[in-house]
Amino acid sequence: MEQTKNRDILAKYIPDSALDKITALLQEHAIRLHIKRARKTKLGDFRPEHNGKPAKITMNADLNKYAFLITLVHEIAHWLVWVEHKNTYTIKPHGPQWKQTYNNLMYDFLVPEIFPDDVLYPLIIHMRNPKASSSSDKYLLKALKNHNKHKTATLLDDLQIGDQFSFNHKNFEVTKINRSRFICTDLSNSKSYSIHSMAEVERMVKE
C-alpha cells in the first residue's frame, strides 16, 4: 500500500501523533500489513515468507490505539530481524537481536505526545527488558486495559483469596495467590487449577 493509503487506514487504529513515524516505517521497509478481526490467542503476529506466500504482519482490529501501536512496533521489529537474518537459522524469535531492534524502534515513540502518562511510564520500564508479549507484563497490561472502550473485564490479579469468579463457563474460588498464577478451586467438583493472574474473569458476588 502507498504511504498515504497506509496513513488513512491506520488513522483509525493508532494515535495521530504516531501516524507519520509508523507509515514511514511501513513504506521504507515495504511491509505488508493486514488488519483482522479479534483473535483470542494473539494480538498480532509476523509471518515470514513461506511456500511462495510473501511475509506479512497481521494485527487485531479490536485493540485500543496504544495497544495497537505497541504490538505493531513489536511485529515490525520481527520483520526487520527476519530481513537481516533470514539466512541464519540460530536467531531466536525474542532473542537479543529482536530486543535491540524493538528498543531502537520504540525509542522514538516513548514520548508524552503519543502515550499518556499512565501507559508511558510502565512502557518505559517494560522496554528495559521486553518480553515476548506485552500481556506478560501485568503493569503495562493493566495500564493498557484502562484505555479499552469497554472496561467490563476484571483481571484475576485484582481478586483476593476467598473471592469467587467465572472463567471459561466455570465458577471458581481463589484459594492461593502465587506470583503470576492463582490456585483456584472449581466450585462444581472441588478440583484445584492454576490460572494465570492476567486472565480476564467475571467476579461473582457471594450470596
Q: Which residues contact 102 (CB under 8 A, 6 or more apart)?
A: 73, 74, 77, 127, 130
- Give 125-135 pLDDT, tens digit per residue: 999 999 888 77
Classified as helix, coil or strand, 127 is coil
pLDDT band, very low/low/confident/very high, at 152 (cuts 50, 70, 90):
low
Here the cell at position 186 is 472449581
Counted residue by residue, the chain has a size of 207
**Looking at the predicted structure, is the pLDDT value of residue 1 above 60?**
no
Handedness of CA 127, 122, 158, 147 (dihedral sign): negative
Percent of the chain with pLDDT over 70: 95
- The dihedrals phi and psi of 85, each to the nearest 5 degrees, come to -125, 20
Q: Is the model more confident about 72 or about 3?
A: 72
- Give 70-127 pLDDT, tens digit per residue: 999 999 999 999 999 887 767 888 999 999 999 999 999 999 999 999 999 999 999 9
**Looking at the predicted structure, is the pLDDT value of residue 145 above 50?**
yes
- Give 53-71 pLDDT, tens digit per residue: 889 999 999 999 999 999 9
Residue 31's pLDDT is 92
State the Cα torsion 23-98-111-135 to the nearest 10°: 100
Q: List beta partners, residue 129.
A: none
- The dihedrals phi and psi of 115, each to the nearest 5 degrees, come to -110, 135
Amino acid at 135: S
Average pLDDT, the chain: 90
Helices (H), the chain: 3-10, 19-28, 65-85, 96-107, 117-126, 138-145
Note the CATH architecture for domain 154-204.
Answer: Roll (2.30)
Residue 25's pLDDT is 93
Q: Is the model more confident about 193 or about 198?
A: 193
